[in-house]
Structure 1
């Protein structure tokens, strides 16, 4: 069985469906081997009393289910992997374990997938709540709590934001290409419709022109039939000629009638109207328009004459529609077998509408029709802003040649459409998500960093060196030994340390035995009765008493 993959590197190729299905399986196997391998290496490199069953076998089985399950149920997979991270909380050595990497990978897959923000936040909240509840139930030391409120949220939020940005970026690219293709198809359809409408107008113009010529031929043939000195054979030929001309006129009229019925009705001026008549009619309607002819006016071919008329007509229509109140100048120059038509309009009066005369409305079919009309007779047309106004310039030959070019200008670029607005919204969302990928980590850092600094300062300023501790003697005056003690007491002794037996009536101070901030260390206790040291003890820092 074969399948055509249109979205990846094999676009346009036929690839086996089995290969398409094997790809995700290979990815899941590779990811499972990586995450499980990290846990195995951690177990082998750390000399702990933990069992291989809990630290290697059980996590490998959980990952074997969670990794492929992240495709359809990423939230549940994240909660399962968070359970592996919670195993570190029940250990006495350190809250950290290698499966924090697996939690970060699961969070990334959650963000890069189709899960909603609400589902993701619920999964994050459930994971952190479960970890905090476990800390409270086990009554773990302070370092364990600090790990849960800093490292676990960082492993959840940061990869998820990266995944969300990647998913938004991929969706933006995919939607952008789809909208671009849709716009191209729509533009081609609009341009083709405009060309067909213009060709129908050309056919109608030719009907009027050829109909007039054929009518004259038929009239001439009818007059010749009445000549008395014609022979019967010649008279019969003229009758046959007049009948053929009449039939041709009827066929032409029927054909053009069908073309006119198949298109939208358009308002056009009578074909007998000249450019001068058109400009005069526009001026009497209130348009400030002037006409200037340069050079001797030649006898133009009917198609060329109608093309000149059409350019002036459409340009006047666009000027009155998009720049009302502007001045319009029509300049027609005849030179060396070529006729150049220039129609320039100024900016409309008033600051509020100053930009309206610069270009036609996006998607306007008038320019496409003019280009088609000019191109079919071998001419060229250019249209664009000129100063504060707009200019249309057409150059056409006085006579239509057999090798004329049919290259018409393409449709104008569509702007301001619904697809463009949707693309702008998608781009704005992508930028916001990209910004969030930096803002959220910065917010987490600004929240956690001060707490970490204060915590580190407290732990580092309450360290009593072992040599100093060994030099202290029971019975010494407190004032004598105070100069050798740290400035601060250890502020977070466990409940077991506080409950340890002490001399009656004595007050005790606690000090850490070294400056390691990430491990539970032994704590020194000094007890005073009055002004004398009455007891000193070493209390184990681990909750299991080891």
Structure 2
């Protein structure tokens, strides 16, 4: 909506500018105010319609530009717009050809009475080539180049996305293979331990203390089987299945409700652990609930390992949209660095939190302590296993790009380069630089062509000035009654642009006569007037010659 409004405003401003320029040019040639207003309104209307009806507007502008001097800037704008918007090279060629024929024909017919159609046709052809053909070709080439680059970008994006899909499928298959191996080997062994421990627990020959120890062993084996099932689910599907916890009778013991038990166990081992809870407790999804338990468990294990006996604070903050789990060891830790529990615990916590839509941060705090904080959402967030190959655990799921329809992966620099998507990479910089260079080149060629056309026109005009100019002595030599053919042989033909606009501006011509108007080689006494000579012929004789001044 905002883009549409900006485009509409820009179009209105452009139409206003073109109307003002057209009105200014029209006013310079001395036209009535009403005709100036009508011409400006027509230029504005054609400017607004050039996008919707490029072919029609080009033809209409080409036809009227030969009559209306103010339409010259409009012709350049319309030709640029038509060059990129007319579909099909044949249709574009036909539209420009029709506009050219109308432009030249109307211009020549308008000046037919000046008796120099060939000269005017040449000049109008040069002008149409510079003002319409060159902008149209430049616009069409630029538009086709943009279309080609966009198609290449979409193709590269599609190929890279397919490559990511293939890599993700390969990782998923490998995870499933590992999960199957773990299930077949460890699951079988744990099941045997649980069965034998259960049978041993009811053995009447055991003492009460031995039964208690066997019961602990059986409980641990059952818990290990449940945890193995969750790990297998993560490896197999890429997400932690909630059903693994729903069917588990010890779910509460391994969620946020079991954190208090972890704290009590730590205190029983001789550690100083403080548990605080803020906010109104809210239920979490099964996977997120278990992730909170694992964050606290791993953090306490890390604190026991690297700072045994140091005061530890465990805090649960129930924010409006997420649960924040924070564990702080207030004493200096030793050898912790960026890893928890042997270097793999922190990675596991981050991956577990990512799979439920959360995150985990760990690092040193002021005073030499260590802090682990996790943010877990209350709701269920669907995760995807298809992440970037180069960074399997630290990237989020792909998000769609507006307009292209292709997902944007958070790829590495090596992957981004061939995409040429261009928002942050060097490829776009090169593309922009190339586009600017191309535009400058086209503009330079167009300017060079205009200069050449102007030079040719000036040279042609200078060479034909003699055909429309005489000096006063030549005027005096012609006598009334002289033969028309003899007089014309002594005078220039007048078929030149130098005599444009001279006919009809002097005294009334004799009835039935044919008159030749030529400029004087001498400069007049005022810059506002110019001396001219007129010779009128009838019945093969020179019947009148006059010298007078016309306005500049």
TM-score by length of 2: 0.44
With the length of structure 1 as denominator, give the TM-score of the two structures: 0.44
**Relative contact order higher in (CA < 8 Å, ≥ 6 apart):** 1
